Amino acid sequence: MDGLVPAIHVFLSRFPGDATASSDLRPLEVDPTPAGVYPSPMPRFYFDDLTLGRAFPLPPHAVTREEIIAFAREFDPQPFHLGDGGNGLSDGLTASGWHTCAIFMRALCDGLLLDSACLGSPGIDFLRWLRPVRPGDTLAATATVIETRLSKSRPDRGIVRFRHDVVNQGSEPVLVMENPILFLARPAP
Amino acid sequence: MSTAFERITIGVPRIIGAHTFTAGEIKRFASAWDPQRFHMDEAEAEASSFGALAASGWHTASAMMRLLVDTFARDAAEALARGEKPVVHGPSPGFEALKWSRPVFAGDTITYTATVTAKRLSKSRPGWGIVTTDIAGTNQKGEAVFAMTAQAFARTDGG
């Protein structure tokens, strides 16, 4: 694939609960860290670690019919996301594109962000829904660093632009996007 | 008589609805799809760059989609009441320039506006057109919090 560099990184999965569990351990006195500094004790990935070309394979997700319908009932109740009638361009039940985004985001959290000094994201440069997602599909994503830029005005942080690719169990692309994410730089020792 | 696709109006902003993001709802969405601490816990959020519990950007976008779908349904009912065929909406190939320009905090009410900026016939799919829509979300102080430029298929021969 264009622009993708093979991953040299050994992926270490983490449970999503790990990142929030630290809140129980925080001291009660006022935290002296300035606003904007991520409070996590020693996240694994800072801006400095997210180097150009580094690729993060994210944990896969199996999509169920029940999950497709539940997401659609709340956020995208179009008939082709609730039942088997199709939409004139695809047959049968298909997931809301926003559901596919949500599945991707959870994978990005579990595979990278929850163990990082992430400060949030200003947006998505572009996103393409390339193929329908159906019940029984298993989605797997890779987040690849395509640009990094340390902030000139605030050198304690930088923007990392990713290309995110989501494929189904047949390795067919279902979603691609480019997305800048803000991370703290690794604090000086 | 014009078709439903031909009647889609370009350049006129429409309010598609407003949504209030409660703390409970923000945490429920985040626990399923985006469990970063600033979307999950008030104290952690206060210590973060957000400064207060903030909705996942995907939650802000998904809430917009619900209002858009509800608007499509109202439009369809009104078209039928006028004796016209409604627009038949299809899937979306994607979007550009999505901006989460400010956090959406617990208690914020976001009003979303949709403006169709272009429509054209699909080259690859006969009977379908592609509608381009700018969507904007504004909080109760009038500050922009969300924007995107979306494409979506709509039938051109449906009525």
**pLDDT given at position A189:** 77
* Domain ranges (residues) in chain A: 6-29+43-184
SS3 annotation, B124-141? CCCCEEEEEEEEEEECCC
Q: How far apart are CA B34 and CA B104, in angstroms?
A: 14
Q: How far apart are CA A108 and CA B56, in angstroms?
A: 13
Best A31, A106, A124 member to test B by mutation, with max B CBs in 10 Å, is A124
Instruction: Report the gap between the CA of B82 and the closest CA in chain A (Å).
Output: 22
Q: What pLDDT is stored for residue A141 in this prediction?
A: 98
Region B91-105 average pLDDT: 96
CA distance B83 to chain A (A): 22
A175 C-beta neighbours (distance < 10 Å), count: 23
Chain B residue numbers touching A134 (CB-CB < 8 A): none
Kindly report which listed range (A21-30, B4-13, B97-106) carries the lowest average pLDDT score: A21-30
Residue A25's pLDDT is what?
34
Q: What is the mean pLDDT of residues B114-142?
A: 95
Chain B positions touching A90 (Cβ under 8 A) are 91
Please report where in the chains the tokens 């299809």 appear, as a residue: B90
Among A49, A162, A23, smallest CA distance to B46 is for A23
Between β-strands B94-99 and A123-129, what pairing exists: parallel, antiparallel or unpaired? antiparallel
CA dist A135 and B49 (Å) reads 38
Please report the pLDDT score of residue B158 as a whole number: 65
Interface test with chain B among A37, A40, A109, by most B beta carbons within 10 Å: A109
Within 120-149 of B, beta carbons closer than 8 Å to A belong to 125, 128, 148
Sign (positive or negative) of CA dihedral A114, A120, A126, A132? positive
CA distance A5 to chain B (A): 24
Does residue B73 register a pLDDT over 80? Answer: yes
What is the sign, positive or negative, of the torsion defined by CA atoms of A25, B25, A132, A145? negative
Exposure letters A133-146 (e unless 16+ CB within 10 A, then b): bbbebebbbbbbbb
Nearest-angstrom CA–CA distance, A59 and A156: 30
Q: Which comes out higher in pLDDT, residue B1 or A144?
A: A144
What's residue B55's pLDDT?
A: 97
Q: What is the pLDDT of residue A135?
A: 96
Count the Cβ atoms, other than its own, within 10 Å of residue B78.
11
Query: Which chain A residues contact residue B51 at CB under 8 A?
Result: 35
Residues of chain B with pLDDT > 90, as a percent, come to 82
Tell me the fold of B4-155. Thiol Ester Dehydrase; Chain A (3.10.129)
Between residues 37 and 96 of chain A, which touch chain B (CB distance below 8 Å)?
37-40, 74-78, 80, 87-90, 94, 96
Window 153-172 of A: residues touching B by CB (8 A cutoff) are none
Say if A117 is an interface residue toward chain B (CB within 8 Å). no
B2 or A82, greater pLDDT:
A82
pLDDT of residue A20: 33
Q: Quote the pLDDT of residue B19.
A: 98
pLDDT at A172: 98
Question: For residue A118, which residues of chain B lie inside 8 Å, CB to CB?
Answer: 36
Q: Return d(Cα B61, Cα B8) in angstroms, integer.
A: 23
Q: Which residues of A touch B57 (CB under 8 A)?
A: 120-121, 123
Of A106, A128, A132, the CB nearest to B34: A106
B153 contacts chain A (CB < 8 A): yes
Mean pLDDT, range B50-56, rounded to an integer:
95
- Intervals of chain A under pLDDT 50: 1-39
| Of B159 and A17, more confident | B159
Amino acid A11: pLDDT: 27
Angle formed by the axes of helices B57-81 and A97-111, nearest 10°: 170
| Whole-prediction pTM | 0.87
For domain A6-29+43-184, the question of CATH label 3.90.25.10 is answered with no
The answer to whether A108 and A58 are in contact (CB under 8 A) is: yes
Query: Model confidence over A109-142: pLDDT tens digits?
Result: 999 999 999 999 999 999 999 999 999 999 999 9
What are the structural domain ranges in chain B? 4-155
- Among A185-189, B17-21, B125-129, the range with the most confident prediction by mean pLDDT is B17-21
Residue A52 CA to residue A189 CA, distance in Å, equals 23
- CB A126, CB A66: distance < 8 Å: no
| pLDDT (mean) for B55-62 | 98
